[in-house]
């Protein structure tokens, strides 16, 4: 028992201090990560975190054709592992990252789902390696390599690269599979965003998908055959990864987005709790890398820290990691029901197309928000030129084939954003033509691609 206690203490899992009376949070106070309210209230808040992550986490497997049950399973495992690796200091839920949608779709089309899962595994391992490096040497090299003009451009081109998928690559996919259902779904999301406050307003996409789903049921567009055949309890369907060098160029740029998302999450929680989380940045990146790698080993979607859950914390003022342990175990219980996963998989293409029309555009515009928040000066050609080139390369989906390797718009756009920026900055300084100060080499903005699911 003494050994167990020492291990728990080393990991930061020795327990939580009850905040105040355990029932209320006085004005101006917050429940810190190492505190909690009474267990009934903590369990309720933890389940609210599951609801908050639900819509966004399931949209990725629904759009990409992955198993929702498998995705939820690895999301739950990843969240619990994240809490352990970060020493219980970082309140966060790890859900499906939208940054994976485009590379998964491209890899699946060219090599099948196993190749796509292999790409997720490679991304996770790379992110874990970045986490180890950051833990040893700090984040300064990330700040220099990816200033806000570069980070914003990468996020923007990933979102806008998905525009054709929102319309649909064929007549039975996307918006054009059922235009009326897609319009109802999109309209419901738009109205929910402005009609409701609090949790319903933040879950506008989930509410809109539910409205679209009911509308599709009335029109006979929902197929329940798979639902009736699925058992109530059982393990998810796992997929063995297959590494394919020709598709790695699709996935590795996602690492840069995941780094920005994780750092942004830490900075947001630091600002709201007053707890300095910079010392655990490397561990947070490592934890997300491990979670994504586990997903890649079994067929789940790659993970990231979730802004939806930051919204819940901001509303409740409860940043207790205890609530996230509850959320992780609740998600794990749901993931053990194939019937639950089959129900999620019945969402028809028209509903997906309607939600994706807004979602993909929001992902793209989040890149612009990074520029605005960091006051990127586009009158400076050193900022304007790389962003302009990278966006067109990404949106038009330029492709470069080198032997068996295929680099698409996301990979090439990312390379252009980083390469052109640093080349122009170096030459401009050498020639004395730089319009300094260029875009500040600060940490990536505190944003997450998953903000789009609010």
Secondary element (H or E) of residue 17: strand 17-18
- How sure is the predictor about 101, in pLDDT bands with cuts at 50, 70 and 90? confident
CA distances from 139 to 142, 193, 255, 261, 420 (A): 5, 36, 15, 14, 22
Q: Give 124's contacts (C-beta < 8 A, 6+ positions apart).
A: 289, 290, 291, 292, 293, 294, 295, 296, 302
Contact yes or no for 350/221 (Cβ under 8 A): yes
CB < 8 Å & 24+ apart, contacts of 52-55: 52/93, 52/199, 52/202, 52/203, 52/306, 52/308, 52/309, 52/311, 52/312, 53/93, 53/95, 53/306, 53/308, 53/309, 53/327, 53/331, 54/203, 54/206, 55/203, 55/205, 55/206, 55/209, 55/453
Residue 242: beta bridge partners?
none
Q: What is the DSSP string of 115-139?
A: HHHHHHHHHHHHHHHHHHHHHHH-S
Among the ranges given (204-208, 292-296, 354-358, 374-378), the one the predictor scored with the smallest mean pLDDT:
204-208
- The Cα–Cα gap between 80 and 197 comes to 30
**Helix, coil or strand: residue 408:** coil
pLDDT tens-digit series, residues 388-436:
999 999 999 898 877 766 677 888 898 999 999 999 999 988 888 766 5
Q: Are 82 and 90 in contact (CB under 8 A)?
A: yes
Are 309 and 52 in contact by the 8 Å Cβ rule? The answer is: yes
Give the pLDDT mean for 47-51.
84
Would the pLDDT of 37 be above 50?
yes
Cis amide bond preceding 437, omega within 30: yes
Cα–Cα distance, 134 to 86 (Å, whole number):
14
pLDDT score of 294 more than 60: yes
Cα(372)–Cα(98) distance, integer angstroms: 22
pLDDT, mean of residues 220-235: 85
Residue 119 has pLDDT above 90, yes or no: yes
Tracing tokens 């590795």 back to the chain, one arrives at: 252
- Return the sign of the alpha-carbon dihedral for residues 174, 175, 176, 178: positive
Question: Which phi and psi (to 5°) does residue 440 adopt?
Answer: -60, 135
Q: What is the enclosing helix (H) or strand (E) of 253? A: helix 248-273
Give the mean model confidence (pLDDT) for residues 233-242.
93
Let me know: does 447 contact 366? Beta carbons within 8 Å: yes
Q: Among candidates 273, 337, 336, 277, which has minimal Cα distance to 310? A: 273
CA distance 359 to 353: 10
**pLDDT for 244:** 87
pLDDT surpasses 60 at 321? yes
DSSP-assigned letters across all residues of 193-213: HHH--HHHHHTHHHHHHHHHH
State pLDDT tens for residues 346-372. 888 899 889 888 888 887 887 888 899
* Beta pairing partners, 96: 303
* Token pair listed for 59: 């949209």
């Amino acid at each position: 028992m003494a050994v167990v206690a020492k291990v728990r203490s080393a990991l930061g899992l020795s327990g939580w201090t009850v905040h105040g009376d355990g029932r209320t949070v006085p004005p101006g106070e917050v429940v810190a990560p190492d505190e909690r309210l009474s267990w009934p209230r903590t369990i309720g808040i933890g389940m609210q975190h599951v609801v908050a992550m639900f819509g966004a986490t399931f949209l990725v497997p629904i759009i990409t054709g992955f198993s929702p049950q498998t995705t939820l399973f690895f999301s739950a495992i990843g969240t619990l592992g994240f809490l352990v690796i970060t020493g219980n200091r970082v309140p966060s839920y790890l859900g499906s990252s939208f940054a994976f949608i485009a590379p998964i779709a491209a890899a699946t089309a060219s090599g099948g789902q196993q190749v796509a899962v292999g790409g997720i595994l490679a991304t996770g391992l790379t992110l874990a390696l970045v986490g180890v490096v950051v833990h040893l040497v700090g984040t300064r090299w990330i700040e220099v390599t990816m200033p806000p003009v570069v980070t914003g451009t990468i996020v923007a081109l990933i979102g806008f690269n998905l525009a054709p998928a929102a319309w649909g690559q064929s007549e039975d996919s996307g918006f054009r599979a059922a235009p009326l259902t897609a319009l109802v779904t999109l309209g419901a999301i738009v109205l929910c965003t402005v009609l409701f406050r609090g949790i319903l307003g933040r879950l506008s996409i989930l509410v809109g998908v539910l409205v679209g789903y009911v509308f599709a049921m009335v029109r006979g567009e929902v197929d329940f055959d798979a639902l009736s055949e699925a058992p109530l309890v059982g393990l998810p369907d796992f997929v063995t990864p297959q590494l394919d060098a020709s598709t790695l160029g699709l996935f590795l740029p996602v690492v840069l987005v995941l780094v920005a998302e994780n750092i942004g999450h830490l900075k947001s929680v630091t600002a709201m709790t007053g707890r300095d989380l910079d010392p655990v940045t490397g561990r947070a990146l490592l934890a997300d890398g491990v979670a994504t790698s586990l997903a890649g080993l079994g067929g789940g979607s790659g993970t990231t820290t979730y802004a939806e859950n930051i919204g819940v914390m901001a509303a409740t003022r409860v940043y207790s990691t205890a609530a996230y342990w509850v959320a992780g175990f609740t998600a794990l219980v749901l993931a053990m029901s194939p019937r639950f996963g089959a129900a999620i998989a019945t969402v028809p293409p028209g509903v997906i197309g309607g939600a994706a029309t807004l979602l993909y555009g929001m992902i793209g515009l989040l890149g612009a928000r990074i520029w605005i928040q960091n006051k990127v000066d586009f009158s400076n050609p050193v900022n304007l030129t790389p962003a302009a080139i990278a966006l067109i390369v990404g949106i038009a989906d330029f492709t470069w084939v080198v032997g068996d390797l295929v680099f698409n718009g996301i990979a090439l756009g990312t390379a252009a954003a980083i390469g052109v920026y640093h080349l122009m900055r170096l030459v401009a300084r050498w020639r004395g033509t730089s319009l300094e100060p260029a875009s500040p080499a600060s940490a990536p903005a505190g944003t997450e691609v998953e903000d789009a699911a609010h």
